[in-house]
Structure formats: structure tokens, C-alpha cells
Structure 1
Amino acid sequence: MQEYDIIVLGTGLKECVLSGLMSLSGKKVLHIDKNPYYGGESASISPLEELYRRFKVHGPPKSMGRGKEWNVDLVPKFFLATGELVKILLHTEVTRYMDFKVVEGSYVYKTGKLHKVPATEEDAQTSDLMGMFDKRRFRKLLNFVLNFEAQNPRTHQDVDPEKTTTRELFSRFDLGQDVIEFTGHAIALHSSESYLDQPCLDTINRIKLYCESLSRHNFSPYLYPLYGQGELPQGFARLSAEYGGAFLMNRTIDEIVMENGKVKAVKSEGKEFHCKQLICDPSYVPNRVRKIGRVVRAICLLNHPVKNTHDASSCQIILPQSQLNRKSDIYISVVSYSHSVASDGLYIATVSTTAETVTPEKEVQPGLELLEPILQKFVTVNHLLVPNEDGRKSQVRIHQNIKGLEEVSSSWLCLNSLFQSDICFPLVRRDRPL
């Protein structure tokens, strides 16, 4: 019988981040994955032939280049340069296992056209997203946000961040509807209009984080790892192994053993591993999660940059829901050969959104039209799952696979939700603070 403080099932990004941090903090961790590869739903598929086999599509053609040059994310994500994940990467020095590149730009869809989200003062002055007077009002809002400190009432300008709604905040600065739309969706990265009637503190923090990340690299606030997002879970897996974490790959899970309503052990291929706590992705405990929606993703292979993006080799494109008469936004992430994820001259664009109808593939059509011509398309529709209970009593912690804004970096704004309650252990690595 083998005893562990924590057993982690799955090697998705969230599981590997937690595994790495807990091993680093002195916990005895065992990581088990039913797959022969790292990453789970955060994996980068390589070679390209494996992606075609996965979707039961014949190919790829020789024009796609060498298959081993491809690393295709199943669920692509960009992240903000000064966000929580970057802080964890730097603090744990996982950055030594990988390299990153700044995403070249961010675009927002308005009245049938793509517009660059202003990244510099010059961009703001020439942007056709705002009129002359709106630019002045927008600048005043940014000055307020950048000077805002939650713990210093003097910076609040009579705004109660816990009671004043975002709609009231925008009204206070007399912002027009066009400015509100691109501020809320392309800068604060909200996926629907519900944020407008919520307390404004969250939106203030989101705008501030975006601006701070933008100032770090000037032309874009986003980062993306070379060789694909799959490098991230692998990096944290290496961290876990470095600090004593054990890994068992390509192993079936026979049973999760409970005693008096609390997790006791995990049985895998005839062996029993005891633990005090279990963390897993939803696929390992289907009886402990419920479906709350669906997300549709279309992975598109291109031989050209997206039109009207200044031939960017990477970019983010947001199609706000109000422009399409929808309840939620559509997101497009574009990466390419410049990130070592595709053969020379080729691109990967992923269109995704929360499904609202019985024909989800049709819902991403506005995004697909921006990408034409498309060499090959792979479409998936996945369920959004949440745990039935918080796991405090059973010590079975299941991460939520809620999409949020997964194709844009605000997904990383929610990273702290992974560390709720007592599953977060204090960081003890190194002497330097974050």
C-alpha cells in the first residue's frame, strides 16, 4: 500500500499547475493519467497526422508540410503578460522549461469589419472605434482606472466599487455605446452583457490588468508559448517531478475508494494508492458533475493571414454578441509557423463560442467567414461541466471546465478560482517574492 498526501487524476493545465505547486510546497503527490500524453483537454496535438486521425479525416495533404512541425491546441488560450499565471510561472521558474512570444495584436468586429484594438496613444488617435469626444472620455476612464486602488478611497472619486454598477460607472464618464462595447468585450474581456449590472470593481481590475499587460510589451498584452499551449502543463509536470511528484501515464482508473463519505484511495490496474485528498478533471468522475451548457470550437488550418489584420502572424479577434444578435461573444485565436506550431507559411485559427442553439456549428459561421479560404476544418462540441458539490467533506476536488473566455486571456483572470478553500498550499520556493 502506498500513501500520498494528494492524488491528481489527469494532466490538464489546471491539474498540472496544482500538482506542481503542491509538490513544490512539500506535499507528496501522485499524478495518474489515462492518456499516454500530457495535457488532457489542454494538449497540443502532434504530429498533424494524429489530428486528422482524431477527427477521422483523410489526410493531411503534402501541401501541409511535415506533420512533426505541427502542434495544434485543442483548446487554445492566450494570457495576459502581467496576469496571475505569469506570476506563478516566474515564481516557480517554470519559464526555464519553455519560451514565449508576444501575440501581435487584438481586433474587434464592428459593423461587418475588423478594427484594431488601440495599443498605443497613436493607435487611439487614429482609431475609428471612437469619435473625437469619445476618445477624451475614454482617456478619462483609463486615467481613473490606472490610478484606482481598492484600499485607498481617495482614488475612488466617490465611486463605491462594491455598489456602483459598471453601467453606472460608464455613464459617469458619459461613454457612448460603441466605446462601452469594445471596452467591455475587447479590453475587460467580458463574454456577455451581464457584467454591466454587476459591481464595477471586477471590470476596473480587468481593465487595469489589460493596460498593465499592454504597457509591458507595447503592441499587445498577450503571450503565447512556442510549440503550443501543451508546453504549459508539461512545464508544471516537470516542476512537480523535480520536487518529488510521481507520474503514472496511460493508466486506467478502476475505482475511487470512499470511506465514511471521504476519499480513501484510488485503484488503478489492480493497485491501490491511498491519499488524503483527490483532485481530478471531470472525465474521471462523471457521476459527480453536471452539464450546464455546451461550447463549440472550429479548428481551421489556413495558408494565409486573416484579412484586415495587417498580415499578423498571430492575433486575437473578438466578435461581440451585440454585433451578431447573440447572448455570448465569438472568439478567434490565430497562431502560426512563427510560434513553431505549423509548417512554414501556414496558420491555425480556432473559432469558439458558447452554443445557444441546436445547430452549434452554424453559430461560429460569422467567425469562419472572416477566415476564408480554409484549407481544413475540425469541429467539436463539448459539454460544460461543474461539480455537484465543493468537495470539502469528501476531499474530492473537481475542476470546473466552464469555458469562460478560454480563447482570450481573461480565462487566466479566473486562475485563482482553482485555489479556493484549502486546496491551495503556501508557496515556499525561492527567496524572492512575486
Structure 2
Amino acid sequence: MVYRKSTERLMVNGPDGVGTLPGLAVDVPGAPADCRRTLVERARWQWRRADGGDPAALAEEFLAAHGLPLHDLARPAPAHDPARSCGAALYVSAAAGASLIGAPVGAANPAPALPEVAVVVYGHGPAAPPVPASPGGRWWRGDWAQSWTPRQHADAVTAVRAAIGRGDVYQVNVVGHAAAPYTGDPMPALGRLAALPGARYGGTLAGEGWAIGCASPETLVELAGGRLITRPIKGTRPATAAGRAELLASAKERAEHVMIVDLERNDLARVARTGSVRVDELFAVRRWCDLWQAESTVSAAPADGLGLADLLRAVCPGGSVTGAPKLAALGLVAALEPVGRGASMGALGWVAPGRIDLGLTIRTAAVDADRVHVWAGGGITWGSDPDAEVAEAAAKAAPVRAALTNS
């Protein structure tokens, strides 16, 4: 099995889980730039639904047990000590996020080798030399197979519009999936994906039999300067002068965007100091690859005693990839999407005392032993045109697929 041979170069089993061999640079989104070439994996914990328990609480406990207490995010962090744990990669799937708030988790993950939650703790070691050429073989990717046809996707959009008409929901994000067979080492291809222009959360994370590549531009939640920050993205047009003007002028896109900004304000307010929530920037247009996207910035001061587990329950899954109201939207998602969201529409990034930086895993791919998986979708409102929504999802997926072409 080619992928497992490649993984063995990266991973070695040990008493604390699976540890990265020394000498390999860490490419986790959000990892401190000054530390990346000296990070060495110290411990790992993974969770799947069959394991039971509360994954958010278990992740917080695991981090504390390995020198990364995140029980009170409002407390000033101690000075960084290179002799102790530096921080940790944190991955939370959309299904895990739904389970945290008691929402339906939807269809099965199309890549069952992926955990639903992964925490990887890193300490410091010798500076890593350049990564040698992989013995895993040249990357080859076959044809994509869609989880649904364009017509089925359009019918799902129509079903959401009908639910909006009944007053069940105001907006729902609908996501499609595609998979392709592959051979060879997937990591260079995932690295190309992570390097796409506009990828604020460009990076990779790998485990036994799985890997994730992320090129997300969207902040799910960040803790910086004593404030919690989220940057929801809603509204997409081609990255042309005409596309930018059209996005700025679109009443439909602005209404959809403001609806999600309001949802994110409410999410942060649940874990914020009273009166501290504010919208710092509204409907700024920024570029990701060949698309313009509208982004806002919402921030708040964390409430005293707020821990990582409660923060994850407040913000996962991200409002821009669920809809409003969130629980009702997730119920419709579970009923309509034929394939689980897997590594997409979740969270991936870095956590440490005094510093959290988690990206929303849009523009994300995952690999298992023999297939590569991608997801893309968009927010549906009463004003959505089904065929236009299908085309928008294809436009978002195109750069991701292009990065995964044969090498």
C-alpha cells in the first residue's frame, strides 16, 4: 500500500502515541513561524465517534496533561519556554463540531481512516534539515467521481429554498464531495494545495493512513492580544474588476453575509465578557486564488474562566458553513448531503496558552490509503439560483483540484 509506506517515513509508534521522526519541519497551519523547523512531536491523541465521551473536554484535558493548560483563556499566558511544550496542532471535523452542540452529524465520513478530532503536541528539538526526497513514488491522481450530480446538487438548493419559504431556516450551507484514486506520495500534492495564494491557513497534518491539506482563507477563531476573533467569509465572485464591483453591489450577497456576521456575533457573545463583542470590519473584499470573497471581522474579550472546550462548543461548526439558525440548518444538511463532510468545514490550526489560531477547513483536501477527497459548497438563501450555486461550488473547488494534478 503506497500511502502507508510514505507515512512510515513520517511517523513512528511510541508509548505516547505516534511521534514525528526528528528532522522533519512541521507544516501545521498557525504554527509559530520562528519555531517550525525546531518542532518535534511529543504526544498525540485522536478521537472517533465510537470512542464516546466529550471530545472537547477530553482534548482540553489531554493538552493540560502535556503542559498546555487552556482552562482559562482570559488569563495572561506565561512567557514561552523552549524547554517545555511549544503548542499543539488541533483538528476538529465538522461532524465532531455538530456532536458538541447536539446536532445531527450527517452522513458517514467518506474517508473513515480520518479521526474526527486530533491533537498533536509539539516540543522543541534540533533544527530540521531540508526534507529529503520521498521514497513513496511519483504522485498520480485518477479521475474525479462526484458524490452527487449537478442536478442533484441543484435539487438540494431547491429543497433549502423550500425550507426557507416555510420559515424553517434563513440560510443553509450546502456542500458537495468528490473523490479520486491515487498512487504515490500525497504530501507534495497537499503541499502545493497549502501554498495556494490567499491561504491564510495553508498547511498539512498527517497521521497513520491519513493526511489533510488546507488552503483556507477563513479564520474560525483566533485568540490574540487578549481578544477572540472570527473572520466569517460569505459572498464570492470571479477575481476581475467586474466581479469585484458586482460583489460589492449585490444586495443578496450582502444580506447573506450580514446574516452570518450576526450569527458569529451571537456565538462569540456566549463565551465573551458582557458588552465586549464588536464588529471591527464589515464586508471587506479580499482575494483567494481567482476569486473575490467578502470577509468581516468580529471580536470579543473572553469571559473569565473560559476554557478551550467551551470555546469549541460555541464556535463549532462555523456559522458560515452551517447556516442560520445553526441547529436547524445542520438538521437540513444531514438530511440533504449524501456524503459526510469529512475533513472539510471543520477546524485546523494551532493552540497554546495565550495563542489560538484555528482556520475553518474550507478549500481543504484529505487522503486515505488510496483516494483523495475534496469538498466545496456555498450558502443558500431565498434569493439563490440553483444552477448558479452549483457553478459557484465548482469555481471554489477548481483551484484545489488543480493543485492535486499529477506530478
* Superposition TM-score, scaled by structure 2 size: 0.28
Give the number of the structure whose residues are more often strand, by fraction: 2
Query: Which structure has the larger Rg?
Result: 1
Give the number of the structure whose residues are more often helix, by fraction: 1
